[in-house]
Structure 1
Amino acid sequence: MPTAKSRQDSTEPTPQQDEAAVPAAESASDAPAATDPPAGPEPGVYEYVHTDDCVYPHVPLTARAARSGRPATDDEPGEPAVDATVFDWPFGPPDDGRWKKTRKTKPNQAADNAGPLISEE
C-alpha cells in the first residue's frame, strides 16, 4: 500500500518558511554595502569660510573666520589681520556648509587639545 508523502519530506516551502525568508531578504538590502563610499565630504585640507568663529567640541577645534586688520587710532587700539582656519580633516569636515576644500597644503591650526604646529623653517 503506497504511503502518503509526509509533510517534512515535501520540497514545497510551507507558508511559515516563505514569511520568514522575506524579512531576512529585506533587511539585507537595507544595510549599506561594504563598498559604498562614506557619506559626507571627503577627507582633506579645508578652509573655514563662515563669517563667525565656531567651536567644534567633538574635535575639539576653534574655527576662526578670516578678518582684515584695522590700524590703531588715537581712540581705539588696532586689530591684527586673522587668517581663516585651515585644518586637515582626516575623516572629512562637518557637513554644515562652513568648510570649503582648499589647495593650501599646510594647516594653520591644530586641534585645541593638541600641541602647537611646528614650523619646518
Structure 2
Amino acid sequence: MDFPLRELAPALTARARTWQVLGFAWTIGPVRANGDKPVVKAEFESAGLVGDLMIWVSGEAELSTIRLTDDRVVNKHYDLTTVDDLGVLLDELVLLLTDGTVPDAAMVSRYPSHPV
C-alpha cells in the first residue's frame, strides 16, 4: 500500500491555526520521484525550533528537529499507513513545541556545538 504523499499539505493546512499561534512556518516541497521511492519533504521553523519532515511513498517518515536555544536534537522514525497516522505525528510535534514532550521512541541528542 502506498502512502498518499499529497495528503501532507492538507494535513498541515488543517492545523493552520495551531501553526499560526505557535509562530510556526512551513515550506512544503513537491513530491519527488527519488528513483522508485517517491518522497515529499516539508521544512519548518519558529523562533525556537527548526526542522524537517520527510515522508516516502512506503509510509516511512522521519521527523527531525533542532531546538535553537540549546541545540537539542529530537528525531523520530514513523511508519505511516494512513492519514490518521500522519495526524499522530503532527500531534506529537505540537506537544514537543508546546510543552517539550519528547515522542516515545525518539532519539534525543545535542547538536555538536553543545556537548552532551
Fold shared per TM-score above 0.5 = no
Please tell me whether Structure 1 or Structure 2 has the larger radius of gyration of its CA atoms. Answer: 1
TM-score normalised per structure 2? 0.22
Greater share of strand residues, 1 or 2? 2
TM-score normalised per structure 1? 0.22
Greater relative contact order structure (CA < 8 Å, 6+ sep):
1
